[in-house]
Structure 1
Amino acid sequence: MLLDKTFDCSGWEIHYKIIESSPALAHSAQQTLVVVHGTPWSSIVFDAISAALLASTPNLHILLYDLPGYGQSQYYSGAQQFRDFDGDTSVAFQATALVALLEETRISNPLVVAHDIAGAIVLRAHTLHSLELKSLLLMDTNTVLPWGDGFYKLVRANPSVFLDMPPQIHEGVVRSVIRSACHHTVPQQMEDALAAPWLGAEGQRNFVRQIAQANDADVQEMLDCRAYEGKVTCAVKVLWGEVDGWIPRGKMETLVEMLGTARCGEGLVIVPEAGHLLMIDQPERVALEVGEWVRSA
């Protein structure tokens, strides 16, 4: 999906798109849904879910965007150096960028879906930047420390090694990462689309950058502020793919406990036969879960 609008934020050209339900369905109160992807993904992982929601939900507006440094939002024209790379793609900056984008688009009190590190991004924006949310749906998101599997820890510790990899080996790594996130075989078209932004010399550098700039401290700051205990002011729904090889069930259960029954009364909703990219493995089931959540918000 082409993200046809742009917003300049601290040197980043953020690409986004706002899509709406058919006017024929516009007979109820308008709702705005903001969809935030994780790493190393882009907004295209939500294409099927967004299409299903637009077809079934009246008067719904959906904001899709690629995080700064990801997908269609990789262009950086600023002068900031952060951890030996041009531009900042950390969770701390992504939260600031999300707040700025919503101010630019004049979106207030939205419903938000967040996958993977987007959970930390949105919770940081909500708890530390006072971003008001109507409701929040977290999908396979890790906001419980420590962060990252063995591969991500390896890249963070040795970014120069991964910058120097031959292009063919780098592409193999990227595609292996994508495949490892799914329980079922990733459709070739989807795999190619997810891999494409990270290929070539600049794509390889950008791929390493978003891992090297990940910082546990961005989450620890929220925990130090006891952010999940009394500072989350909206209802939260939590989904987890039953065979997610990236985030163990125990961490998701800990997150639900930290949110508490007052905010997360439904508990952990488990999607069978789904890995980390549960919206790719089980698009129909995930679309149903998201649709029910939107309609009940």
Structure 2
Amino acid sequence: MTRNLKLSQHFSSNGWTIKYGVFGGEKKHEQTVVFVHGTPWSSAVFNPLASALMSGNGYRIVLYDLAGYGQSQDFNDKGAAQSGELLVGDTSVRTQASVLADLFKHLRLNQSDILQSPALVAHDIAGAVALRAGLLHGCKYRSLLLLDTNTVLPWGDGFYKLARSEAKTFLQLPVNVFEAVVRAVIRSDSHAPKEFSRVWEDILAEPWVDKDSSVADAKQKSFIRQIVQANDADVAEMLDQDLYKHVECPVKIIWGEQDQWIPREKLESLAAMLKDSFKEFVVVPDAGHLVMIDQPERIAIEMQKWLMKN
């Protein structure tokens, strides 16, 4: 049964108020698993997987919303507002990696023994966030499970490239038209959009849309901001220095066979760059980019097998 896991705690990082939650793990020796979502999602995409781990398996679960996403959209914009910036607050991969490193410090997750460090599950751009946090910020992981991750350039499909180049136009879209765009983007990530649950669509759209025009304007800016600020340079820095080969923990890659956003070739390229740390590549049939929602039972099984082995 999928639980409603509320993010009831918070800390500050890079000007953002980051909402997070820690669940289960009453015993200190139990393994910690940190889930990191991608764009344009929130930690809600992991509720099925987190719930599966909490059903008698004794894991300590950490969920949080990226800076500028979900419930973490509060930014101390006093200085930026005075300078007249249109999209205040940095949501780039560079900043997200810094936020993840701050979360590790806040929860004291870094351990000298890698086996005592948390396992990390990442989806979409969170793969780049996790790798950057590990390689450039010193975060230590017991293992990495990468779900349809975006870690190899170039980034973005036609819609994202258009939104990047025409940000002001997208910011001017009427509320109802913008909501239709957001919902279309969400449905495009599922392998079976016609059968895609309206409940899931509402959950994933909620951070970005609202019927209240004053709130909707802020959410619309947030949605466009995370697209505009997806800077290729943050990933290029790691690729140019061939840093992926220095990942120390074992890595498993899962790819939805019908993913229309990230082709298999990109993940195979990532596997090659990871060298000895790469251990397993799993292709999941009948699943799109939202592989954990399209095939929750299969992904839960793959995740639990991986965590038990590493």
- Normalization by structure 1: what TM-score? 0.94
Per the alignment, in what secondary structure is the counterpart of residue 219 of structure 2?
helix
Distance 1:171-1:256 versus aligned 2 partners, 3 A rule: same
* Moved segments of 4+, more than 6 Å: none
Q: Deviations over 1:108-152 (max 9, x none)?
A: 221000000000000001111121111101000011110111110
Q: What corresponds to 1:87 in structure 2?
A: 89
In 1, the alpha carbon distance for the partners of 2:92 and 2:179 equals 23
In 1, the alpha carbon distance for the partners of 2:256 and 2:78 equals 40
1:256 maps to which of 268, 271, 290: 271
Per the alignment, in what secondary structure is the counterpart of residue 197 of structure 1?
coil
Is the 1:145–1:219 Cα contact (8 Å) retained in structure 2?
yes
Is the 1:36–1:112 Cα contact (8 Å) retained in structure 2?
yes
Q: What corresponds to 2:65 in structure 1?
A: 66
Residue 213 of structure 1 and its aligned partner are, at CA, apart by 0.5
In 2, the alpha carbon distance for the partners of 1:265 and 1:99 equals 25
Residue 80 of structure 1 and its aligned partner are, at CA, apart by 5.7
Q: What corresponds to 2:24 in structure 1?
A: 20
Q: Does 1:54 find its partner at 2:58?
A: no
Q: What corresponds to 2:34 in structure 1?
A: 34
Is the 1:243–1:273 Cα contact (8 Å) retained in structure 2?
yes
Per the alignment, in what secondary structure is the counterpart of residue 265 of structure 1?
strand
Q: Deviations over 1:207-247 (max 9, x none)?
A: 00000001100000011221112x11110000000100110
Residue 11 of structure 1 and its aligned partner are, at CA, apart by 1.9
In 2, the alpha carbon distance for the partners of 1:50 and 1:80 equals 38
The code of the aligned residue for 2:108 comes to R
Is the 1:79–1:86 Cα contact (8 Å) retained in structure 2?
no
Q: Does 1:165 find its partner at 2:173?
A: yes
Q: What corresponds to 1:192 in structure 2?
A: 202
The code of the aligned residue for 1:37 comes to H
Q: What corresponds to 1:206 in structure 2?
A: 222
In 1, the alpha carbon distance for the partners of 2:33 and 2:87 equals 32
Per the alignment, in what secondary structure is the counterpart of residue 134 of structure 1?
coil
The code of the aligned residue for 2:287 comes to A
Per the alignment, in what secondary structure is the counterpart of residue 151 of structure 2?
coil
Distance 1:246-1:294 versus aligned 2 partners, 3 A rule: same
In 1, the alpha carbon distance for the partners of 2:225 and 2:9 equals 25
1:112 maps to which of 120, 124, 143: 120
Distance 1:78-1:10 versus aligned 2 partners, 3 A rule: farther
Is the 1:80–1:87 Cα contact (8 Å) retained in structure 2?
no
Residue 84 of structure 1 and its aligned partner are, at CA, apart by 4.3
Per the alignment, in what secondary structure is the counterpart of residue 85 of structure 1?
coil
Q: Does 1:288 find its partner at 2:301?
A: yes
In 2, the alpha carbon distance for the partners of 1:193 and 1:283 equals 16
Residue 56 of structure 1 and its aligned partner are, at CA, apart by 4.0
Deviates most, 71-80 or 280-289: 71-80
Instruction: Describe how 1:174-189 pairs up with structure 2 within 5 A.
Output: 174-184=182-192, 185-189=195-199
In 2, the alpha carbon distance for the partners of 1:201 and 1:218 equals 28
Instruction: Describe how 1:220-239 pairs up with structure 2 within 5 A.
Output: 220-229=236-245, 231-239=246-254
Q: What corresponds to 1:132 in structure 2?
A: 140
Q: Deviations over 1:52-77 (max 9, x none)?
A: 1111423x101000001000111112
In 1, the alpha carbon distance for the partners of 2:176 and 2:248 equals 47
Q: Deviations over 1:76-130 (max 9, x none)?
A: 1234649841100000000000000110111122100000000000000111112
Residue 10 of structure 1 and its aligned partner are, at CA, apart by 2.4
In 2, the alpha carbon distance for the partners of 1:212 and 1:14 equals 21
The code of the aligned residue for 2:289 comes to H
Is the 2:256–2:286 Cα contact (8 Å) retained in structure 1?
yes
Is the 1:79–1:87 Cα contact (8 Å) retained in structure 2?
no
Per the alignment, in what secondary structure is the counterpart of residue 96 of structure 1?
helix
Per the alignment, in what secondary structure is the counterpart of residue 140 of structure 1?
strand
Identical-pair percentage: 51
Per the alignment, in what secondary structure is the counterpart of residue 149 of structure 2?
coil
Q: What corresponds to 2:212 in structure 1?
A: none
